Amino acid sequence: MTAEPRALTVLDLPAMKAAGRRVVVLTCYDAAFARLLEDAGVDVLLVGDSLNQVLAGHETTLSATLDQMIYHAASVRRGARRALIFVDLPFLTYQVSIEDAIRNAGRVLQESGAHGVKLEGGRHMGETVRALVDRGIPVMGHLGLTPQSVHALGGYRVQGREPEAAGRLLADAKVLEDAGACAIVLELLPADVAAKISASLTIPTIGIGAGPGCDGQVLVLHDMLGLNDRFNPKFLKRFAELGEAVRSAVRAYATEVRDGRYPGSEHSF
């Protein structure tokens, strides 16, 4: 009988980087997909506030609520036994005060069973990250294109193209590492900038649109499965075309219902 793989811990993340093992991350919002992703060997399930766009149809992540994040994180936790689960803290649940950040991050861990939280921002979030880590709450950082600041950044565009901006991002990453972050997402950065940041840290970087020099990669699950087939950024590779598979299956179902072929005798009591 094959032993079940042990559950990962936050301490495994820097160890994976030191061993040269890439960290596999995908977004996840429910128990059913959590089981499938874990069975396929995903290391980290990120309950992203992208659910506001992917599941709820909003244009940005900004209106996601803490209760929404906790609900979906608890669903993911019920489907996963081995993978690490990190949860995005939504807009204005951690930026107003350190006390808010502690209270809200604590709620996430207490009510969902997740292992840690992710928050956006660089040096100005250093004290907040330190306060959370000091209280036993693991934190993943997020630099580059930070979706909660999409309006201030002028839209979804590559960050760090100019040397001065790249230097600020490198300094921000060091602040987050020094504050105790266990990993940092790098989103929409030039590949050489992301590689330089990755090489300067002992904690892993998780790239999305940041090239191959990161220590791991993350994609939005529905994007990489082809379920969101209207979204076509340069960095995205679809590993399946499930959107068309769903359409085809539903068309077949609808045809059989209308023709009276489903349910048949084999489906009846």
3-state DSSP of 69-83 = HHHHHHHHHHHCCCC
Q: CA geometry: angle at 75 spanning 74 and 77, to 5°?
A: 60
Contact 173, 126 (CB under 8 A): no
Question: What is the dihedral sign for C-alpha 20, 26, 30, 32?
Answer: negative
Q: What is the pLDDT of residues 85-116, one digit of tens each?
A: 999 999 999 999 999 999 999 999 999 999 99
Contact 197, 151 (CB under 8 A): no
Contact 163, 171 (CB under 8 A): no
> Is pLDDT at 1 greater than 90 in this prediction?
no
Per-residue pLDDT, 211: 98
Give the pLDDT mean for 122-135: 98
Per-residue pLDDT, 99: 98
Give the pLDDT mean for 44-60: 97
- Coil/strand/helix, residue 201: coil
* CATH of the domain spanning 12-238, picked from 3.30.1300.10, 3.60.21.10, 3.90.340.10, 3.20.20.60: 3.20.20.60
Cα distances (angstroms) measured from residue 124 to each of 172, 185, 235: 9, 16, 28
d(CA 43, CA 32): 16
Name residue, tokens 């209760």.
Answer: 67
Q: Is 142 exposed, middle or buried (0-12, 13-18, 19+ CB in 10 A)?
A: buried
d(CA 76, CA 230): 26
Per-residue pLDDT, 227: 96
Q: What is the pLDDT of residues 3-43, one digit of tens each?
A: 677 999 999 999 999 999 999 999 999 999 999 999 999 99
Binning the chain into helix, strand and coil, the percentages to the nearest 5 are: 45, 15, 45
Give the residues across from 118 on adjacent strands.
88, 140
The domain locations on the chain are 12-238, 243-269
Contacts of 203 (CB under 8 A, 6+ apart): 13, 14, 17, 177, 181, 182, 183, 184
Q: Clarify whether 187 is annotated catalytic.
A: yes
Q: What is the pLDDT of residues 138-186, one digit of tens each?
A: 999 999 999 999 999 999 999 999 999 999 999 999 999 999 999 999 9
Q: What is the pLDDT of residues 202-240, one digit of tens each?
A: 999 999 999 999 999 999 999 999 999 889 999 999 999
Catalytic residue, chosen from 127, 187, 241, 244, is 187
